[in-house]
Chains A and B, each alone.
Chain A
């Protein structure tokens, strides 16, 4: 399986996700510099976390216009699976591949901590290793992870079952207390209409190794192994 990780100026989780991909999938990904114009052939494209372009102007706004993104968008529209983590999620919303937008956390602070996520779908290539409604522990680390969409968009996202994960309590309850950043409906990740593009704020690559305190994130990479070829 051939994977590509896009490296933008200011990406800083590119190495972390490459390590997780290699551990779960057995092969190291291609690290693709944003300034290239042609994507290598890929079975999976990952947009990593970080602060592309320093998060200046708006998180992800400038990366969405990087030269490589023209090809990435085209391949995504042709059905190549795309995973955007944190800043990668922000970039995907800026390109319009995913609905909604990530605005400043309602606390106005950067937040780095483990959160509980409820798996909302397990029939996708990213989440088939999880149980439906399973509660998993995955860290967040962001300043702008507050998911927002207008009423119509939100209704469509919910109506089409495109919510991937929600922030939840230890027992899976969805409430304000377990919402770390003010996201609408506690949304932590969303799919596009085909379920082949996933954007999420939490970092599965950070809890994919027992030495780091957990392996709940690993399921996402192992799911991909099962379904992408």
Chain B
């Protein structure tokens, strides 16, 4: 496709055929709009520039209308969506800068490089704004373990994430992983990065001022990923394998140098604006910087550092070579800035200047001078916005727990669930990530949320990634609401106060009304939770067209949240320690088994409505738990999520190597619904004896259900008179599945 385009341009100067327009992913209407904007036929380079700017990936044309419904403000927000990443105030002049982004399609095609460059890209979004990256997370969805490609994809993606993050020296502190046949043809790799900056030293992308030098730094440009941005917005078909050459290759070593060089430069006052070259590389970075600054850019492509010979303007403008940044500098600082980049062995080139023309003018001498001359504002703002037709998803009926199969034994079911792909330990994955480098990881992977210390202080930043695709598939509205709430709950369970989220919205083809309906439902559910929990979205990304031959992924709005605790010593973790503590469940136990792990693993079924979140109760429970943690009244805390109460307690027992003795359930629900139901808004607390009464009183005063379910101690998990299961046996089931699965070659 690319080759053909170049040939046409070379031979005939310009010949825009309908086929060429279609190959660039533009509809006839969109092309007419382009013609109207520029008033003439575009050159092929200009067509390429429009096609990437108007791709779904860059323009959010299907989602923008709905994204506006998400709350994005709050006193804690310094910068919401629209910049490279969101910025949140941490007090004391500290700011967290963070974002999550998808790299789904590239990771499916070439898992190692796709995942690695996804990590690299999200880190650039963060340090572009002046933050040192301090933690990475990732949310991964793979197909069924039985699918022939799954093992290869897991292996490559995990190695790629580790290969990049480990080399840079930023800890990968956790994440989440699901296996589900509905991701067989479209895996999801969502990478999140959190950075730390000073509130008075944050960098933005608006290139304000005329006659300023436009500077290119980082790696050289090659023909990598040309049409990556348009590929990321196209559905897969049988030709997917042929798209392989467009995948970029990451160079984490260069990125490490780039981080250090940029941060060194940012400690001076030489930068006016800076933007990383991500999807659509030089095109989108220059258009966005110029547009936000209200200026024009003249770019001289002869000056662009090039890795390959005879590159055309089309290729340079669309290249997605990694580890590159575009900056606008204060005049007269060029030499000092260049010295910093030379010290770090990085390319530095002045490739243009800002103008008052409002136009992006690109010249390349080997192609006869000016190859593109386009109005910046129109390129940035005149992308079509579609209000695509949608139909609301009809949620299934609520499942009566009495209609769900009873297990042979509760603890046998527990072991089976804990050893299933859904709930088994992810240790095999996170041990391949350096999660301790930077020596500030106070809560390592495997708990509710990870926590890193704000370097040089006692403050802690809790980080969690969440969504339950089973729920969003059945009911996008409730599922969207639940995803935001679960993230809030996971942060709360460490004692942190949730501050803000980033989102990565992964869906199928928005041109299908039922998929668009899932999107709308999820956004509305998220918006309700965000607004109630004061948990605004400050950054994010949308990935559509995740489907293969008409089979869409479950709607997967991944939520990445951060929270703050003023002293890491006060934080709670999930590990049971010592004996004689009482286990108390906060929140109502209603035995909700619809869309539960129990239903899937034990009853081998997937039906019913997902559990509903009651936001008012959620806030009450969360605030109470957080205050108990701060007051030092509890020894361990874990939120109740996938698998329900018994799974939560088992995870606590395994984490601390301390067993628990549980009371027989004597209420009205079937026992398996009580122990495995996935009702929301619940926490398990391990409470020293002397604090039990006051906690129960406090809950009563708040009209919050609180139930004593057992006590800690021993080396097994037992429910009275049932004999019990040794922790060693449970651990073997829990730790065994993933390594056993992965090590079979």
Contacts and interface: CB of A to CB of B under 8 A. Distances in A.
Question: Do chains A and B make direct contact within the complex (CB under 8 angstroms)?
Answer: yes
Contacts of A211: 442, 453, 568-569
A139 B159 CA distance: 20
A203 B166 contact: no
Interface stretch (A10-18, A90-98, A124-132): A10-18
Nearest to A205: B439
Interface in B69-124: none
A51 B444 CA distance: 22
Given A53-B253, A205-B439, A206-B439, A12 B569 contact: no
Interface residues of A, number: 31
Contact of A209 (B159, B257, B439): B439
* Majority secondary structure, A binding face: mixed
A50 interface: yes
Contact of B256 (A10, A111, A206, A212): A10
Contacts of A111: 431-432
Contacts of A203: 436
**Most chain B beta-carbon contacts within 10 A, residue among A19, A51, A203, A211:** A211
Given A12-B168, A13-B169, A112-B433, A56 B439 contact: no
B436 A50 contact: no
**Most chain A beta-carbon contacts within 10 A, residue among B168, B251, B435, B436:** B436
18 contacts: A9-B256, A12-B437, A51-B169, A53-B253, A54-B251, A54-B253, A54-B254, A109-B159, A110-B434, A112-B430, A112-B432, A112-B435, A143-B166, A206-B436, A212-B440, A212-B441, A212-B442, A213-B442
B167 interface: yes
Interface of A: 9-10, 12-13, 15-16, 19-20, 35, 49-51, 53-56, 109-113, 139, 141, 143, 203, 205-206, 209, 211-213
A209 B453 CA distance: 12
Using C-beta atoms within 8 Å of the partner chain, give the interface range for chain B.
20 to 34
B167 A54 contact: yes
B440 to A, nearest CB: 8
Contact of A9 (B159, B163, B252, B344): B344
Given A10-B167, A12-B168, A110-B162, A212 B436 contact: yes
A19 B438 CA distance: 10
B345 interface: yes
Contacts of B438: 15-16
Contacts of A56: 253
B206 to A, nearest CB: 32
Given A10-B253, A16-B437, A110-B163, 6 more contacts: A51-B256, A54-B167, A111-B432, A112-B166, A112-B436, A141-B434
Contacts of A35: 343
Contact of A212 (B159, B168, B431, B439): B439
Contact of B436 (A20, A54, A109, A139): A139
B169 A12 contact: yes
Nearest to A143: B166
A149 B184 CA distance: 45
B474 to A, nearest CB: 36
Contacts of B568: 211
A51 to B, nearest CB: 4
Contacts of A49: 437
A65 to B, nearest CB: 15
B325 to A, nearest CB: 18
B594 to A, nearest CB: 38
A35 to B, nearest CB: 8
A141 to B, nearest CB: 4
A54 B431 contact: no
A216 to B, nearest CB: 14
Contacts of B441: 212
A196 B31 CA distance: 72
Interface string B157-188: 00100110011110000000000000000000
Contacts of B440: 212
Contacts of B163: 110
Contacts of A50: 169
